[in-house]
Chain A
Amino acid sequence: MSTANNASDVTDALETGYRKALRLLPRTYQAQHAEEMLGVLMDGAQPGQSRPKAREVLSVAMLGLRLRLIVADAGGPTGRLAANIARRAILVYFVFEFGLLMQWNAYGARIGYSFLPVLLQAGIIVALIRGWSWCAQALCLADIAYVVNNAQWEYWSSASLFSYGGFAVFTRLFILAATIVVFHRKAPRIAGSTWWFTALAAITVAFWIRGKTVDHMWEFDNDFSHTPALPALLFAAAVVVALWRVKSSSVWPAALALAGLPVFGGTTLRYVTAWPPQLADSPRDTFYVELALGCEVVLMCLALASFAFALYRRRTTTFRSLEAP
């Protein structure tokens, strides 16, 4: 009797463990497959096994990751939403950063700065808008190689994610890697290519002109605090778009908030570590930097609000469908 009870306890513990592991899967996938997967895992367990095998848990975790990132578009509404947000956030980030790169080159070109990152970035943006995923992935890999090759070695030996230069490098590598994953072969082409190309052209021209007229840039990087008025204007425009969409969909508010997150990197870290020299004598530029940072905070709040609206809508719809005869 006692042996039977022990065996039952062992089985229960194992089942509980595997049930916990299966929670790593997306919710919609769990609803469809968790019970049968549990059966497979329990059938494959060794006699007396009381804890899940690490390799099976890892396998479930990898499947969960793959379902969320790679095949999210074929999954439930949550997966599609996450993929839609991620793709738009990445593209917005690339377009904005392309503007900064153009500004940097418009200024730096006078001293013969290399045009290679601009070409890579332009190629990635065009490939993403046109839906050429293989081309975009290849260019992202080339860009990763370029960043790794060109980052000074002290970045790797001494810089961390929280240092000024290190943040820029690690953020760039992370976003390029995320692009390779999110814009996968089966990902749907992003809508509104005319709109995207128009936005790209407008931002390019605006930043190019700004780069040609700027008096001095202290460092040749893509820190927007050199010319903060234009980025602040774009952040304000992003807030307007997010406000416009906040009640109807979470995609744009969340995408814009995500795309703007790197603003807390370079600029904010410089506030913490040392006052940016280009802002020391310019209260107006300081105001623009703070305006951009403030807009990003507002964007994050709007993203949260849009999720709250979506949750409210879903509950209301569910209750109405339950009430319907």
Chain B
Amino acid sequence: MKPLGRTEPVFLILTALIDEPRHGYGIVQEVRRITDSRVDLRIGTLYGALTRLSEDGLVEAHRDEVENGRLRRYYRLTDAGAAVLAAEASRMAADAAVAISRLKKFTMPTGHAGLDTKLDTNGGAI
């Protein structure tokens, strides 16, 4: 399977399409919601990514609807897209687990185990 190896927006776009097909603005809103407004997709980023993902068969156009006189094209995640996203998510989770486990052993130059404390206060989550 070809690894995703792509940027964060691409990963987030695929994530936004997991539960249901969404149109362009729906993807923008869902990515904003997933990231707690940290990532605000620009139109060029969104359609550049959708074009690439469609070419690679990871997403596909699901249906067209016209709402208030405007065309809304819905995109859905394909089986290949879900598999690639799952592999990428596993890889990222493994990388994150390594980082967390190493950070727990990290001692700051001043001798305080500050990062350990920060990780523990979050319940071990990032």
Q: Which residues of A contact B (CB under 8 A)?
A: 29, 33, 35-44, 55-56, 58-63, 66-67, 71, 74
Contacts and interface: CB of A to CB of B under 8 A. Distances in A.
A37 B43 contact: yes
Interface in B45-65: 45-48, 51-52, 55
For the residues of B in contact with A, the DSSP-based class is helix
A37 B113 CA distance: 50
A37 B24 contact: yes
22 contacts: A33-B51, A35-B71, A36-B24, A36-B72, A36-B73, A38-B70, A39-B24, A39-B71, A40-B23, A40-B46, A41-B43, A42-B70, A43-B25, A44-B25, A55-B42, A58-B44, A59-B45, A61-B44, A63-B43, A63-B45, A63-B48, A71-B52
A179 B78 CA distance: 35
Contact of B23 (A36, A56, A71): A36
Interface string B17-56: 0000001110010000000000000111111100110010
For the residues of A in contact with B, the DSSP-based class is helix
B42 A40 contact: no
Interface of B: 23-25, 28, 42-48, 51-52, 55, 70-73
A181 to B, nearest CB: 15
A160 to B, nearest CB: 33
Contacts of B71: 35-36, 38-39
B70 A60 contact: no
Contacts of A62: 44
B51 to A, nearest CB: 7
A43 B73 CA distance: 13
B3 to A, nearest CB: 15
A39 B70 contact: yes
A40 B24 contact: yes
B70 A66 contact: no
Contact of A74 (B43, B45, B55): B55
A59 B44 CA distance: 5
A259 B72 CA distance: 44
Nearest to A62: B44
B25 A66 contact: no
B75 to A, nearest CB: 10
Contact of B48 (A35, A36, A66): A66
A39 B22 CA distance: 13
Nearest to A35: B71
Contacts of A58: 44
A79 to B, nearest CB: 12
A29 B52 CA distance: 13
A293 to B, nearest CB: 41
A39 B72 CA distance: 7
Contacts of A60: 43-44
B39 to A, nearest CB: 14
B73 A44 contact: no
Given A37-B43, A40-B25, A41-B43, A71 B51 contact: yes
Contacts of B24: 36-37, 39-40
Contacts of A44: 25, 28, 43
B125 to A, nearest CB: 31
Nearest to A70: B48
Given A36-B23, A56-B42, A63 B70 contact: no
A74 B55 CA distance: 8
B47 A63 contact: yes
A35 B44 CA distance: 14
Contacts of A29: 51
A36 B51 CA distance: 13
Contact of A39 (B25, B52, B55): B25
A262 B23 CA distance: 47
A63 B24 CA distance: 15
Contacts of B43: 37, 40-41, 44, 56, 59-60, 63
B44 A40 contact: no
A42 B28 CA distance: 13
B47 to A, nearest CB: 6
Given A40-B25, A44-B28, A33 B42 contact: no
